[in-house]
Amino acid sequence: MMISVDTDLIRVLGDPLRMRIVSLLAHETLCTTHLVEETGAKQTNLSNHLRVLREAGLVETEPCGRFTYYRLRPQALEGLAGALGDLAATARRTAAADTRRACP
């Protein structure tokens, strides 16, 4: 049985700046200004990465006056974590059973 892992989501999280943004948002809801200060990235670059994270369903926005706050959606990560956990458990069982396919 094959375990399905969301490779698109892994690709989104594979960018170091996006992973840094996700890590920051795991601790608190932040606006773009805060994220620029924390990451040192330029505002336009940061906005592009936030758009990718929004489109992937990892973050949601909350307008507040002239600012937009970003909040991490933990349920998006939980699905990926569950799939990776299942994959690790399968690998652990396979290693313990020492299953090996015979070469032709």
pLDDT in the model for residue 5: 66
pLDDT in the model for residue 95: 83
* Helix, strand, coil share (%) of the chain residues, nearest 5: 60, 15, 25
* Topology given in CATH for the domain delimited by 7-94: Arc Repressor Mutant, subunit A (1.10.10)
- pLDDT tens digits, one per residue of 27-50: 999 999 999 999 999 999 999 999
- pLDDT tens digits, one per residue of 38-90: 999 999 999 999 999 999 999 999 999 999 999 999 998 998 898 888 889 98
pLDDT in the model for residue 90: 87
Domain boundaries, the chain: 7-94
Q: Could you tell me the pTM of the whole model?
A: 0.83
pLDDT in the model for residue 69: 97
The greatest distance separating any two alpha carbons of the chain, rounded to the nearest whole angstrom, comes to 67
pLDDT at 102 over 90: no
**Cβ neighbours of residue 40 under 8 Å, at least 6 residues apart?**
none
pLDDT at 4 over 80: no
Backbone phi, then psi, for 7, in 5-degree steps?
A: -70, -30
